[in-house]
């Protein structure tokens, strides 16, 4: 029972935190200088979304590796849950990034290295689910998708670090340089809001993730009961 109470308290805390983050993003943090109008405010949502997409990728990798060792269907469910959220958040990050790019430079797509990496991440998630859809047998689906997740993870560092170094070295940096440092001068209040939002989105990710995993646990338990 007390476990449940802690959970409920955490949910309320998360809800309140995110409300505060949204309020701060629009009313407390100033709009950054050098950006069109209020457009810089999207950063408080865009950056955390991209972060969650990458975080989900890592959680998916760990769950996939664990599955191949344990062959526990729950680990497969964990991997799938992380990938589902990763798909949603990488889609959100791509769309918000695109909107921002349109406002700033009048073009939805600029072939910035960051844009490419998030788009590839989106493609990987889509491919991961295309593969899962194509395999009806549960065990086979689990091991094939785990193998693919690991394979995809191997190419990621090349995309994020190696390719931009070779390919875009002649191109001007857009907002974010290849080193990943934010180029815009950040007001302390902006920085605080951004970090609060990162924490909030991470919390949101883990809340949705545990929900999905708990659902899978219930499903598996029911399946085991039916068998017995």
Rounded to a whole number of angstroms, the minimum distance from the CB of residue 126 to another protein is 7
Q: What is the CA radius of gyration of the chain?
A: 20
Site string for another protein, 176-215 (x = CB under 8 A): ----------------------------------------
Residue entry with tokens 């670090």: 161
CB of 117 vs another protein, minimal distance in Å: 9
- When asked if residue 62 is in the footprint of another protein (CB under 8 A), the reply is no
Please say which residue, 13 or 221, places its beta carbon nearer to another protein.
221
Write down the least CB distance from residue 106 to another protein, Å. Answer: 24
What is the 3-class SS of the chain, one letter each residue?
Answer: CHHHHHHHHHHHHHHHHHHHHHHHHHHHCCCCCCCCCCHHHHHHHHHHHHHHHHHHHHHHHHHHHHHHHHCCHHHHHHHHHHHHHHHHHHHHHHHHHHHHHHHHHCCCCCCCHHHHHHHHHHHHHHHHHHHHHHCCCHHHHHHHHHHHHHHHHHHHHHHHHHHHHHHCCCCCCCCECCCCCECCCCCHHHHHHHHHHHHHHHHHHHHHHHHHHHHHHHHHHHHHHHHC
What are the CA-CA distances from residue 208 to residues 25, 68, 180, 204, 212 (Å)?
22, 24, 27, 6, 6
Complex with another protein: residue 5 or 225, whichever CB lies closer: 225
Residue appearing with tokens 């760990």:
62
Residues in contact with another protein, total (CB under 8 A)? 36
> Which of 42, 62, 147, 186 forms a contact with another protein (CB under 8 A)?
147
Q: Select 146 or 204, whichever has its Cβ closest to another protein.
A: 146
User: Is residue 131 part of the contact set for another protein (CB under 8 A)?
Assistant: yes
Among the residue ranges 34-42, 44-52, 146-154, 183-191, the one whose residues contact another protein (CB under 8 A): 146-154
Minimum CB separation of residue 131 from another protein in Å reads 6
| Per CB under 8 A, 158 contacts another protein | yes
Q: What character string, x for contact with another protein (CB under 8 A) and - otherwise, covers 73-112?
A: ----------------------------------------
Which residues sit at the interface with another protein, rule CB under 8 A? 68, 71, 120, 123-124, 126-127, 130-131, 134-140, 143-144, 146-148, 150-152, 154-155, 158-159, 162-163, 165-167, 223, 226-227
């Amino acid at each position: 029972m007390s476990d449940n109470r802690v959970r409920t308290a955490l949910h309320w805390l998360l809800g309140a935190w995110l409300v505060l983050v949204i309020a701060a993003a629009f009313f407390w943090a100033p709009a950054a200088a050098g950006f069109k109008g209020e457009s810089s405010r999207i950063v408080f949502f865009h950056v955390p979304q991209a972060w969650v997409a990458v975080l989900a990728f890592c959680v998916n990798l760990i769950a996939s590796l664990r599955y191949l060792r344990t062959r526990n269907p729950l680990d497969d469910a964990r991997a799938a849950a992380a990938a589902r959220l990763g798909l949603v958040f990488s889609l959100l990050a791509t769309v918000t990034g695109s909107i921002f790019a349109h406002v700033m430079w009048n073009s939805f797509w600029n072939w910035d290295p960051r844009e490419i990496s998030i788009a590839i991440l989106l493609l990987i998630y889509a491919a991961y689910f295309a593969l899962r859809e194509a395999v009806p047998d549960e065990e086979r689906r689990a091991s094939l998708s785990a193998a693919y997740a690991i394979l995809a993870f191997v190419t990621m560092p090349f995309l994020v670090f190696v390719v931009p170094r070779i390919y875009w070295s002649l191109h001007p940096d857009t907002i974010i340089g290849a080193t990943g440092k934010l180029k815009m001068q950040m007001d302390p209040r902006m920085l605080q809001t951004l970090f609060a939002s990162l924490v909030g989105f991470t919390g949101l990710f883990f809340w949705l993730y545990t929900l999905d995993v708990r659902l899978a646990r219930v499903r598996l338990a029911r399946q085991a009961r039916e068998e017995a």
